[in-house]
Amino acid sequence: MVDSACDEILNSVRLRKLLGIVLNIGNKLNMAGSEKRKANAFTLESLLKLNQAKAFDKKTTVLHYVVLVVRRNNELLVRFADDLPTVLKSDKIYWDQCLTDLDEVENQLENVRRLALYEYKLARARKENRTTAAPPSLNDDNMSLEEELTALRSSKIGVFTLGAIKQVSSLRDKVEMTQSKFKRVLEYFGESKKKIQPNELFEIFVTFCNNFKRANEEVVANEKKKVSFLFYCS
């Protein structure tokens, strides 16, 4: 889900265009009556402040204005959240815990591997009538890779271990690819210097999507009121 969520953020054209509108509006507001230079970007956290800054009527927010601009110029952008279905479900996935769980699985699997090899050595010793000798060691450093494969393939627990090692190794590769992709997302938004977790980033977008949806509903309601008032007056 984290991997898919990163893809959705990177590939959404509507999100990119919407953020471009937010940047343009922010620049116009900041430069009004001043000699400030245009900003080339903004922090993602500032998206959550768009519904806080209000106009002189104490009701209209910057986010309301963003919605108005979007509806008048490119109404398809109103549904930008449709491009982010996985993002909206990934804010409760705690990446650090996922990594901790994977580390634990790898550690437990290593214990199972050693146990399977120990049982193989023990069975071989019994077969060779070496029961009076010292018990085999859990240390497998004296076994070659070929010997270890032969040993693991000789028992059900060993076969299970080989399959599990393959699956966990594949999962570890996916985790590293996802971490690399999330790093690209942070670089894409100029947030690479911040120590931000995937769920924290996704939570920003979830909140922004909800705020945008609410602002859009309020804008639509106000427009209907104006239409009704004009109709009544006519």
Residues 183-227: tens digit of each pLDDT: 999 999 989 888 899 999 999 999 999 999 999 999 999 877 765
pLDDT tens-digit series, residues 120-155: 888 887 877 655 555 556 565 677 888 889 999 999
Same domain, 30 and 70: yes
Q: Tell me the CATH number at 58.
A: 1.20.58.2220
Residue 222 burial (CB < 10 Å; 0-12/13-18/19+)? middle
Same domain, 45 and 65: yes
pLDDT tens-digit series, residues 40-80: 667 899 999 998 877 667 778 999 999 999 999 999 999 99
Same domain, 99 and 88: no
Same domain, 52 and 80: yes
Same domain, 57 and 114: no
Q: φ, ψ for residue 203 (rounded to 5)?
A: -65, -35
Under DSSP, the state recorded for 136 is: P
Nearest to 83 by CA among 195, 8, 26: 8
Same domain, 211 and 176: no
Q: φ, ψ for residue 54 (rounded to 5)?
A: -115, 155
Average pLDDT in the chain: 86
Given a contact cutoff of 8 angstroms between Cβ atoms, the answer to whether 16 and 87 are in contact is: no
Same domain, 75 and 145: no
Same domain, 11 and 87: yes
Same domain, 181 and 99: yes
Same domain, 78 and 102: no
* Number of domains, the chain: 2
Same domain, 160 and 227: no
Range of the domain at 229: 2-92+197-233
The model's pTM: 0.80
Same domain, 184 and 207: no
